[in-house]
Chains A and B, each alone.
Chain A
Amino acid sequence: MSGPNTDYDPVEVTPLKADQVEEMREAALAAVAAAADLDALKQVRLDHAGDRSPLALANREIGALPPQARKEAGQRVGQARGAINQAIAAREAVLEAEHEERMLVEETVDVSLPTTRRRRGGRHPLTLQSDLIADLFVAMGYEVAEGPVVEAEWLNFDALNLGPDHPARTLQDTFWAEPPEHHIVLRTQTSPVQARTMLTRKPPIYVVCPGRVFRTDEYDATHSPMFHQVEGLVVDEGITMAHLKGTLDHFASQLFGDGITTRFRPSFFPFTEPSAEVDVRCFVCRGTGMDEEGAQSCRTCRGEGWIEWGGCGVVNPRVLIACGVDPDVYSGFAFGMGIDRSFMFRHDLEDLRPLFEGDVRFSSAFGTEI
């Protein structure tokens, strides 16, 4: 700001007249209101509030006024400039909000576009079924025992009361490793794991043994040379068939649904005596044998109301002796069922081959839990 202009002729200073200032203010406010967007407002700011705007130029003249007039003119100009700046700020807020809103609208995308760039993985349903079963028993306090699939003949047969001349040996068509005189087999059941468990742990024993087993069955819709079994073994004081029944009823209801129980039928397994076949009440028709319409026979149980599930029994004392457990102190029960078979009727699969064909569409369908 320059110093006082002593040569100033007050008569000549028209821009500081009240009506002139009012005019400039009106013009500025009108321009602000008319600014349609932020660019226009920027120009308005330059034109009406900038250094070269009429009011800024008028302001420079204040110093030329006589001291008595300066105050009045200063006030008048200052108020006008304040009002204009306020109006610009208000207008700017409105225009900015409008701009933002418009930008958000312009940035709209099609959220229905596909988003999957990577394949989904999945665990094999038999692994999942096996884990699920293990979890059910672990929840009851059992542990999961395991053993080799290429197994000693003695552990797969003899220790389980299946001597070399036992007719039941021929029922389990066995793969023999070369040379046969080495007495090594592909285990035909997971029972050798039970023998191993008794040989390496002291009772009380509560274990389940899921795993792969092998039989020389030609591969077709219902047979496979390799399949999966889960067996359970309990050895403790005072164990009875009632405990076996209770355990399998609980297992059945956990795997197939509330209220699904089991039925025992006398059977024969060298490992157990007494032995039973265990049937599970059909969880589809709930034992009625009828389909949903009540017309035809249930597909899952073929109208029988029961599904053959596995074998079980009270551990034969001969087995306890061969495995170093005193049958006068301890008794036990054992059971075994097919994991593949359980999976097949639980998930309505009629032909087992997709389990072993490895088509990714099959496993992917089950994801990571079942």
Chain B
Amino acid sequence: MKAPLSWILDYVDVPEGTTTEALTDRLTLTGLKLEAIESPGRDITGPLVVGRVVTMEPEPQKNGKTINWCTVDVGDANGTGEPQGIVCGAHNFKPGDLVVTVLPGGVLPGGFEIGARKTYGHLSAGMICSARELGLGEDHDGIIVLPDDAGEPGQDARPLLGLDEETIEFEINPDRAYALSLRGIAREVLVSVEGASNFRDPALRDTPPANDQGHPVVVEDPEGCPVFVARRVSGFDPDAPTPDLIVRRITAAGMRPISLAVDVTNYVMLETGRPIHGYDADKLRGAIVVRRAREGERLITLDGTNRALDPADLVVTDDSGIIGLGGVMGGETTEISESTTSILVEAAHWDAVSMFRTGRRHKITSEAGKRNERGVDATICEAAADRVVELLVEHGGGHAEPGVTVVGTPPAMPTIRMAYDLPERVAGLPIDSSTVVDHLQAIGCRVDADADGVDVTPPPWRPDLIAAQDLTEEVIRLVGYDLVPSVLPTPPSGRGLTRSQQLRRRIGRTLAGEGWVEVVNFPFVGTADLDALGLAADDPRRDLLGLSNPLNHEAGFMTTTLLPGVLRTAGKNVGHGNTDLAIFETGTVTVPRHAGPAAILPVDRRPTDEEFEALDAALPAQPLHLALVAAGDAVAGGWWGEARPVTWADAVEAVRSVAAALGLEVTASSAELAPWHPGRCAELSVDGEVIGHAGEMHPTVCQAFGLPKRTVAAEVDLDLLMARSVHLRKAPSFSSYPVAKEDVALVVDASVPAADVEAALREGAGELLESIRLFDVYTGDQVGKGKKSLAYALRFRAPDRTLKEGEAAAARDAAVALAAERTGAVQRT
């Protein structure tokens, strides 16, 4: 809400010397936050004075234009007292007119410096200004012609144009709709600013009593439209200009001047907060009827849109049909035009919820709608209508018809009981009962006090005050939020982070410690992303939760996998030259459960446990995932030797590290799953449960995401992993007897997984085996085609004795025998 300071001060006095900053600082602390202070004349410096045109000689030019060579009396402002010679291209004035003149040395908005210059054969010393040149609007049809009594030549023109005016922009919270008016802002000044006084309510005026000579109005839905006031002005001059003051003020408030009739309704809306609608009275047919729309009805609104109406929409009708969307927007057929001479003024009170729904349904946002949906003073319809009539008559030359239609009565305000000590119990600050009463009365409440508390009837402009807590806020803000003391509460002993929270931190630290960099991606995905991953048509990851209103239709779903995000981010990094990279992300993914709707439960009681559980069951599953991608070199090359490129094993090892941090061991077995390379994808499991996959990316996928071939990635379900994490690990015990080492090399078919060979060796070696390590893998001529040699180092040790001669060798032979039986392994000699 933008409010010219002078307009605010029309309705309230502040102590002499109160600066704008002091005023806005105080209002900010009591709830009207200062957004900005605007001053249109800020960018104009130097002499800008009133001038009277003395002579004016039109001089046609070769280019077809005609310029006027003028002399302008600027009093003593030019230092000589002689008329100033100025060339002017406009024609909307005549000798004798008062105009606005900027003299040499002046600077106009945009840094436009004015000097004396030769043009069209004259020395033009200054400029006669248009509104646009002064930053006062877009109107550039001609120069500004001031009213004849506006001032004397040579006088500073700024005050006459409102260029010295300061306009304050406030941020208005949704509960303070009353402050969407000068009336409300002035009242806030009265109650918040020390020493402010003499509030003059612009909505407090004597209005003519209702009679039956007015335009007939029938309200069929008094709940939707509790009050409807109609007044009529006839003999109105459609060409009458809007007075400068009104133009300046509504412009400063952010509205566009249109015509006197429209400008006046806007002016009164800003002044009182009450939206007004004007009809061309000659276009009305018969009685006005207010009702809800009927199925299938349509209306072309003022903005030219043909709208299908909803049965919940409130409409204004006459014999011709629907003529307006009540309180939201008028219809085209009765719109005030350039030839309107008879105006019917409507000031009606509308149900706020209905206004909100209609506005949202038809996607209409307007100044009127904004006020109607937040709540307007229902008692000022007559005053506001009367004020409009007054201004139309005063400036548009018509006369007020005697008929005054008033249908309905304003709804009563509730009475709210509040204990005296509630504000102090809420604030934690002593507030005595008289302070409570004073502040509530100051904001306009009627207060009936008794021994324990107050019965409070809020003023009609405060429909937001409905419960004791609302009154509490009013009292505390006027006492001053800055007086609330700072006291630390004493919580009971907490239990610290949950196990899952600790584990997630551990996972992040583990990966960061091993060189992985965490990234955060948006969880939105499109089917094209899944195509790029090469997911099959029946891949369960294609079952996505859609968004009704995505920002981007290419990413209109919640993702089921973190891979598209990390791969895209990896691709961007490579594009930025970060070619050796390892990134990871943890985040939830969304897996639809195709459950029923989530109920809208009542709010006047706690939901039952069953209702609450049903709510959760209706939501999609949202498991926490980890995804990682690496590309380029894992170990840089340097004076120490060659670089080592990233391989599939780095992705598997990263997951193993994470698992180890949770006390778990991961088993890898080969699998085929998009987006991995079919021969280089590991299915990772813990205790037989699959927790994810890792390996080298399919070359096509690498290409799709702008990544080099051999980029590697992994994705695991951290919820599954964390659920298995070992909480209390047992302390290890180990033997201090000597170790016996045995190495074996086994030749197996290339297709036999090393993990199977190792498992057989472990089992066959028995209890004396302390550890086993695969230290070499060989393929080549010495073992033959389709074969590979696996070399293992075995360490044997007994917990309670030194091994006897031959014991280790016997265990080794048993291990080899079992490996031979299970995997066809042949010991290499």
The verdict on A74 contacting chain B, using a C-beta distance below 8 Å, is no
Q: Does B513 lie within 8 Å of A368, measured CB to CB?
A: yes
Q: How far is the CA of A192 from the CA of B68 in the complex (A)?
A: 70
Mark contacts of A116-136 with chain B using CB atoms, 8 A cut-off: 1 yes-contact digit, 0 otherwise.
111111111011000100100
The verdict on B451 contacting chain A, using a C-beta distance below 8 Å, is no
Chain A residues with Cβ below 8 Å from B612 are 199
Q: Does A121 lie within 8 Å of B582, measured CB to CB?
A: yes
Closest Cβ neighbor of A183 among chain B residues: B598
The verdict on A338 contacting chain B, using a C-beta distance below 8 Å, is no
The smallest C-beta distance from A249 to any residue of chain B, in angstroms, reads 5
The verdict on A148 contacting chain B, using a C-beta distance below 8 Å, is yes
Chain B residues with Cβ below 8 Å from A163 are 603
Chain A residues with Cβ below 8 Å from B425 are 238, 240, 331
Chain B residues with Cβ below 8 Å from A324 are 605-607
Q: Does A360 lie within 8 Å of B476, measured CB to CB?
A: no
Q: Does B509 lie within 8 Å of A123, measured CB to CB?
A: yes
Q: Does B472 lie within 8 Å of A273, measured CB to CB?
A: yes
Q: Does A243 lie within 8 Å of B487, measured CB to CB?
A: yes
Task: Pick from B516, B523, B549, B605: contact of A121, CB below 8 A.
Answer: B516
Closest Cβ neighbor of A357 among chain B residues: B572
Q: Does B491 lie within 8 Å of A321, measured CB to CB?
A: no
Chain B residues with Cβ below 8 Å from A355 are 520
Q: How far is the CA of A181 from the CA of B472 in the complex (A)?
A: 37
Asked whether A121 and B470 contact (CB < 8 A) given A127-B518, A245-B485, the answer is: no
8 A Cβ contacts from B573-601 to A: 573, 576, 578, 580-583, 587-588, 590, 596-601
The verdict on A344 contacting chain B, using a C-beta distance below 8 Å, is no
8 A Cβ contacts from A8-66 to B: none
Chain B residues with Cβ below 8 Å from A331 are 425-426
Residue of A131, A186, A359 ringed by the most chain B CB atoms within 10 A? A359
Stretch at the interface among B617-625, B666-674, B727-735, B799-807: B617-625
Mark contacts of A167-202 with chain B using CB atoms, 8 A cut-off: 1 yes-contact digit, 0 otherwise.
110110001111111111010000000000001000
Mark contacts of B20-37 with chain A using CB atoms, 8 A cut-off: 1 yes-contact digit, 0 otherwise.
000000001111010000
Mark contacts of A339-370 with chain B using CB atoms, 8 A cut-off: 1 yes-contact digit, 0 otherwise.
00000000000000001111111011001100
The smallest C-beta distance from B495 to any residue of chain A, in angstroms, reads 6
Q: Interface majority SS on A: helix, strand, loop or mixed?
A: mixed
Task: Pick from B509, B596, B599, B635: contact of A117, CB below 8 A.
Answer: B635
Task: Pick from A124, A167, A199: contact of B519, CB below 8 A.
Answer: A124
Q: Does A141 lie within 8 Å of B491, measured CB to CB?
A: yes
Task: Pick from B488, B509, B580, B619: contact of A368, CB below 8 A.
Answer: B509
Asked whether A242 and B174 contact (CB < 8 A) given A178-B546, A183-B597, A358-B521, the answer is: no
Mark contacts of A234-276 with chain B using CB atoms, 8 A cut-off: 1 yes-contact digit, 0 otherwise.
1010111111011101100000000001011111100001111
Task: Pick from A152, A181, A274, A277: contact of B33, CB below 8 A.
Answer: A277
Chain B residues with Cβ below 8 Å from A131 are 505
Q: Does B599 lie within 8 Å of A154, measured CB to CB?
A: yes
Task: Pick from B481, B572, B616: contact of A266, CB below 8 A.
Answer: B481
Task: Pick from A182, A261, A266, A359: contact of B597, CB below 8 A.
Answer: A182
The smallest C-beta distance from B17 to any residue of chain A, in angstroms, reads 23
The smallest C-beta distance from A180 to any residue of chain B, in angstroms, reads 5
Q: Does A356 lie within 8 Å of B520, measured CB to CB?
A: yes
Chain A residues with Cβ below 8 Å from B484 are 241-242, 245, 264
Q: How far is the CA of A247 from the CA of B176 in the complex (A)?
A: 28
The smallest C-beta distance from B101 to any residue of chain A, in angstroms, reads 36
Q: How far is the CA of A114 from the CA of B548 in the complex (A)?
A: 54
Chain B residues with Cβ below 8 Å from A182 are 596-598, 618
Q: How far is the CA of A152 from the CA of B476 in the complex (A)?
A: 34
8 A Cβ contacts from B251-304 to A: none
Chain A residues with Cβ below 8 Å from B175 are 268
Residue of B558, B619, B639 ringed by the most chain A CB atoms within 10 A? B619
The verdict on A165 contacting chain B, using a C-beta distance below 8 Å, is yes
Asked whether A321 and B489 contact (CB < 8 A) given A121-B516, A122-B512, A368-B513, the answer is: no
Q: Does A118 lie within 8 Å of B426, measured CB to CB?
A: no
The verdict on B209 contacting chain A, using a C-beta distance below 8 Å, is no
Q: Does B486 lie within 8 Å of A246, measured CB to CB?
A: yes
The smallest C-beta distance from B434 to any residue of chain A, in angstroms, reads 20
The verdict on A322 contacting chain B, using a C-beta distance below 8 Å, is yes
Q: Does A184 lie within 8 Å of B516, measured CB to CB?
A: no
Closest Cβ neighbor of A206 among chain B residues: B491
Q: Does A158 lie within 8 Å of B603, measured CB to CB?
A: yes
The verdict on B547 contacting chain A, using a C-beta distance below 8 Å, is yes
Chain B residues with Cβ below 8 Å from A264 are 481-482, 484
Q: How far is the CA of A73 from the CA of B590 in the complex (A)?
A: 105
Q: How far is the CA of A153 from the CA of B470 in the complex (A)?
A: 25
The smallest C-beta distance from B624 to any residue of chain A, in angstroms, reads 10
8 A Cβ contacts from A276-318 to B: 276-277, 314, 316-318
Q: Does A124 lie within 8 Å of B518, measured CB to CB?
A: yes
Q: How far is the CA of A242 from the CA of B483 in the complex (A)?
A: 9
The verdict on A7 contacting chain B, using a C-beta distance below 8 Å, is no
Task: Pick from B473, B486, B497: contact of A138, CB below 8 A.
Answer: B497
Q: How far is the CA of A199 from the CA of B609 in the complex (A)?
A: 9
The verdict on A216 contacting chain B, using a C-beta distance below 8 Å, is yes
Q: Does A273 lie within 8 Å of B469, measured CB to CB?
A: yes
The verdict on A143 contacting chain B, using a C-beta distance below 8 Å, is yes
The verdict on B374 contacting chain A, using a C-beta distance below 8 Å, is yes
Closest Cβ neighbor of A327 among chain B residues: B469
Asked whether A239 and B486 contact (CB < 8 A) given A118-B636, A266-B30, the answer is: no
Q: Does A176 lie within 8 Å of B549, measured CB to CB?
A: yes
Q: Does B486 lie within 8 Å of A249, measured CB to CB?
A: yes
Q: Does B427 lie within 8 Å of A242, measured CB to CB?
A: yes
The verdict on B511 contacting chain A, using a C-beta distance below 8 Å, is yes
Q: Does A167 lie within 8 Å of B426, measured CB to CB?
A: no
Asked whether A167 and B356 contact (CB < 8 A) given A184-B598, A206-B492, A356-B520, the answer is: yes
Mark contacts of B373-412 with chain A using CB atoms, 8 A cut-off: 1 yes-contact digit, 0 otherwise.
1100000000000000000000000000000000000000
The verdict on B215 contacting chain A, using a C-beta distance below 8 Å, is no
Chain A residues with Cβ below 8 Å from B514 are 121
Closest Cβ neighbor of B547 among chain A residues: A175
The verdict on A89 contacting chain B, using a C-beta distance below 8 Å, is no
Closest Cβ neighbor of A119 among chain B residues: B515
Q: Does B429 lie within 8 Å of A275, measured CB to CB?
A: no
Chain A residues with Cβ below 8 Å from B578 are 359-361
Q: Does B501 lie within 8 Å of A144, measured CB to CB?
A: yes
Q: How far is the CA of A28 from the CA of B291 in the complex (A)?
A: 134
Task: Pick from B518, B583, B619: contact of A184, CB below 8 A.
Answer: B619
Q: Does B174 lie within 8 Å of A168, measured CB to CB?
A: yes
Q: Does A204 lie within 8 Å of B356, measured CB to CB?
A: no
Q: How far is the CA of A114 from the CA of B638 in the complex (A)?
A: 8
Chain A residues with Cβ below 8 Å from B576 are 359
Asked whether A121 and B512 contact (CB < 8 A) given A149-B588, A274-B469, the answer is: yes
Chain B residues with Cβ below 8 Å from A368 are 509, 512-513
Q: Does A117 lie within 8 Å of B638, measured CB to CB?
A: yes
8 A Cβ contacts from B533-580 to A: 545-551, 558, 569, 572-573, 576, 578, 580
Q: How far is the CA of A226 from the CA of B550 in the complex (A)?
A: 12
The verdict on B634 contacting chain A, using a C-beta distance below 8 Å, is yes
6 closest A-B pairs (Cβ-Cβ)? A324-B606, A242-B428, A240-B428, A266-B31, A274-B473, A358-B569
A-B contact pairs, 26 of them (CB 8 A): A127-B518, A131-B505, A148-B619, A150-B619, A158-B603, A159-B601, A167-B174, A167-B356, A177-B548, A177-B558, A178-B546, A178-B548, A184-B619, A263-B481, A264-B484, A265-B481, A266-B29, A268-B176, A273-B470, A273-B473, A274-B476, A321-B605, A322-B605, A322-B606, A324-B607, A367-B512
Known: A117-B636, A167-B356, A242-B487. 8 other contacts (CB 8 A): A119-B581, A152-B599, A177-B548, A179-B548, A241-B429, A243-B487, A266-B31, A273-B470
Which A residues are within 8 Å of any B CB, using their own CB?
Answer: 113-114, 116-124, 126-127, 131, 134, 138, 140-144, 146, 148-155, 158-159, 161, 163-165, 167-168, 170-171, 175-184, 186, 199, 204, 206, 212, 216, 218-219, 225-226, 234, 236, 238-243, 245-247, 249-250, 261, 263-268, 273-277, 314, 316-318, 321-324, 331, 355-361, 363-364, 367-368
